[in-house]
Structure 1
Amino acid sequence: MKIGFDISQTGGKKTGCGYYADALVRQLLAQYTQDAFLLYPAFGDTYWDPTHVASAERISLHNTDYPFLIDSKDASFNYWRSPKGVDEQVIGTPDVVHSNNFSSPHLRYARLVCTVYDLSFVDVPECTTEENRYLCFNGTFLASVMADMVIAISHYTKKRFLENFPHVPAERVVVSHLGNRLPVSGPEEAPSTMLEDRPFLLAVGTLEPRKNLRRLLLAYKEYLATSENPKDLALVGPQGWLESDLDQYISKLGLTHQVHILGYASDAALRWLYKHCWAFVYPSLYEGFGLPVLEAMAAGAATITSNTTSLPEVGGDAVVYIEPLDKTSITSALLLMDNDYYRRSLQVQCVQQAKKFDWATTASVVHEAYEEAMRLPRRRTSTSLVNTSSVR
């Protein structure tokens, strides 16, 4: 099989979608050496990384090729959004194309497989920007009418996808949980000397409203006033949207000396943080999966997370659950970590729970979806988008 694979978000500052694409394609390459993989650093018309030629992951194996390297955003977008359908010879004549960035190009012959991460842009629209809502909804809608198979990264995401797009046959949507993309063994580097000599609580994720950081900070302030042995709090992740004044908010709460905003962290830094934190807290309002929770558990961190959306699928019975809209619930969970015996028992449970997830299983499910896309009749797209006489 010739598999076209979107790696457009795997550049130097990748976050969730980019980590997913990078880890998945590496596992597919390792497991399915008989297949040919056509990797696309520039893909679709929803995302553009101007540094992708230099920073997107490059994998040199006998079964990989990069047939579409282009450094012009306009030229790339115009190619992928062609209303007559893309010229598939330009991208290596794949049998299947896997989109990971909310793009659904009109393919004349190849089957289209799309990853759907979550429906947060529908369920919590206030947590993102108008532009992002538009791009994500439009991309997901197009996937619902054009994709031959859809990969949902959790059962919760599949449920919400089918509820919002009931015209999609349920048998064309498969669930493929993620694996831990950050190996426990590897280089470690403390991102701040300030944290090397003191215990700290850790929160990881893009700084955006969906991560519920302001309510965490309010709960943390109560925790400081109540705990007999309070710990500092480290916030780790790239700047997202609608949280540009978070440092000012921290200052107004009087938490400047206790809260450390560390920004984007390398894998070496993340590995050190997960292994050395007193506890990991992830009070997100909404997730499609919750990769930081899995990363933290695998590293042996006692983990606190929300009881909503997909997060119970990841945490199982190993974590402390909180009600993310209830500040007191978050405070109580933080105070539970003062009990060191209980905290250490959680660490053991978290490591065992994390072992239930691996990329080999993810890759197997995804590859089966490719095969199913080839077996099933090709889905016909909207006649306003496609000349149906060109569709086989």
Structure 2
Amino acid sequence: MIIAVNAIFFQDDYLEGYGQYAVSIFNILVQNHPEHEFVFIYDRLHQKEWINGPNVRSVTVGPAARHVPAFLYWYNIRAAWEVRKYKADIWIQPYGFCSLLSGVPQIVVIHDLAFKHVPKSIPWHQRFFYQTFTPLFLKKANRVITVSEFSRQDILQHYPNKAKSLEVVSGAARDSFKPVSWEEKEQVKEAYTDGYEYFLCVGGISPRKNMLNILKAFSLFKKWHKSNMKLVFAGRLAWQYEDFMEKLTTYKYRNDVVLTGFVTDEILARLTASSYAAIYVSHFEGFGLPILEAMQSGVPVITANNSSMPEVGGEAALYAEADQPDTIAAHMQTLYKSEQLREKMVQKGLERAQQYSWEKAADLFWKEILATKAVSS
């Protein structure tokens, strides 16, 4: 079987959630199924081969698909022609889009319907594209995968009877996220926070990630406790970050806030494992990998009680209203005041993270591939 995979998010210094999900699953599938050929199709030149093996072929097909006209051309004409040229049996689309013109059977992964719930967090032209074409993608795809039961129910509610099938294949924490020694924690803190403890927020700086309310919560925490605790944001400047950066210039505790920018996976894993607690109170998430990555690293988690996050965190996280900084701050204070509770949440988190694995995800994904091939044969 020849399996084509859309790899446009396998980018140097820009892998993030969608890309991490696809890379993690297909690294396993390539190794587990050497008898099949995998063709990874990029839309631009890349410096790093994210997935290697004797059964792997990487091809670059321009132009870069980064705006609506380019989306339509790349998926429906340029990439579709390349997939047909390699005589692919199946075309995997991990990012919510697919080709409406290709005759090759397709599996589409729709992570969430953020454009429905937090439309202002998405550029208007991309939002228009999602609104217009998502129902067409669901109808066109031979099978549809999503990443949480929340997203599955959300898709069914908004687009009843559109998808031929809709299965959940959840992600997991990567192996590099694990507890580290006291000495390594001290090294990380010396490098980033002058040796002080810190709360960690992972994600691109954008309104959807709720960074302004996290700043407000941190202000309350600092007001209640005259500690040297820091707040670290690990992520690139993403969509509509200007308001955050402007407010940060006059923020009372600016000297206690650290912006790392985009960091490598290795550094992110060390930053996560060395933090006092992880704060991930986004306005909306289809899954939320940083929750599990913090838990697997032995770090307590404060997250939001909306969308998929309670499903991911279970009883191993503390939950807050995303738009109520005082509830976020209250949990920060609780962890700070009670080392016993903090250790309890660490143990619960370690157990929770073990319930998810990339091997399980890859096996479920492979079943979807086989089902697609069986129907199309």
Please, what TM-score do these two structures have when normalized by structure 2? 0.89
Q: Which runs of 4+ in 1 moved over 4 A?
A: 74-77, 185-189
Q: Which residue of 2 aligns with 1:202?
A: 200
Q: Using the alignment, how far apart are the partners of 1:207 and 1:180 within structure 2?
A: 21
What's the CA shift for 1:180? 1.4
Alignment of 1:318-357 (within 5 A): 318-338=316-336, 339-357=338-356
The 8 Å contact of residues 22 and 57 in structure 1, kept in 2 or not, is answered as no
Consecutive unaligned residues in structure 1, runs of 5 or more = 43-51, 379-391
Matched position secondary structure for 1:235: strand
Q: Using the alignment, how far apart are the partners of 1:206 and 1:262 within structure 2?
A: 11
What's the CA shift for 1:111? 0.9
In percent, how many aligned pairs have the same letter? 22
Give per-residue Cα distances to partners, 1:90-147, cap 9 Å, x unaligned. 2x11111111233311354421100101111111112222123123334523321211
Q: Which residue of 1 aligns with 2:169?
A: 176
- 1:3 aligned onto 2:6: no
Q: Using the alignment, how far apart are the partners of 1:29 and 1:191 within structure 2?
A: 38
Give per-residue Cα distances to partners, 1:199-222, cap 9 Å, x unaligned. 011100111111111111111111
The 8 Å contact of residues 26 and 51 in structure 2, kept in 1 or not, is answered as no
Consecutive unaligned residues in structure 2, runs of 5 or more = none
Q: 2:54 aligns with which of 56, 59, 62?
A: 62
Q: Using the alignment, how far apart are the partners of 1:191 and 1:129 within structure 2?
A: 36
Matched position secondary structure for 1:317: helix
What's the CA shift for 1:56? 5.0
Q: Which residue of 2 aligns with 1:363?
A: 362
What's the CA shift for 1:334? 0.7
Q: Using the alignment, how far apart are the partners of 1:269 and 1:192 within structure 2?
A: 14
Q: Which residue of 2 aligns with 1:233?
A: 231
Q: Using the alignment, how far apart are the partners of 1:243 and 1:62 within structure 2?
A: 42
The 8 Å contact of residues 9 and 56 in structure 1, kept in 2 or not, is answered as no
For the aligned residues, what is the CA RMSD?
2.6
* Count of residue pairs brought into register by the alignment: 366
The 8 Å contact of residues 41 and 61 in structure 2, kept in 1 or not, is answered as no
Please, what TM-score do these two structures have when normalized by structure 1? 0.86
What's the CA shift for 1:266? 1.0
Alignment of 1:1-392 (within 5 A): 1-12=1-12, 13-42=14-43, 52-66=44-58, 68-73=59-64, 78=73, 80-82=75-77, 86=81, 88-90=83-85, 92-106=86-100, 108-169=102-163, 172-184=165-177, 190=188, 193-195=191-193, 197-227=195-225, 229=227, 231-338=229-336, 339-376=338-375
What's the CA shift for 1:263? 0.9
Give per-residue Cα distances to partners, 1:209-247, cap 9 Å, x unaligned. 111111111111111101254511001111111122323
Q: Using the alignment, how far apart are the partners of 1:228 and 1:308 within structure 2?
A: 31
Q: Using the alignment, how far apart are the partners of 1:79 and 1:123 within structure 2?
A: 27
Matched position secondary structure for 1:157: helix
Q: Using the alignment, how far apart are the partners of 1:175 and 1:301 within structure 2?
A: 27
Deviation larger for 145-154 or 240-249: 240-249
Matched position secondary structure for 1:97: strand
More helix by share: 2
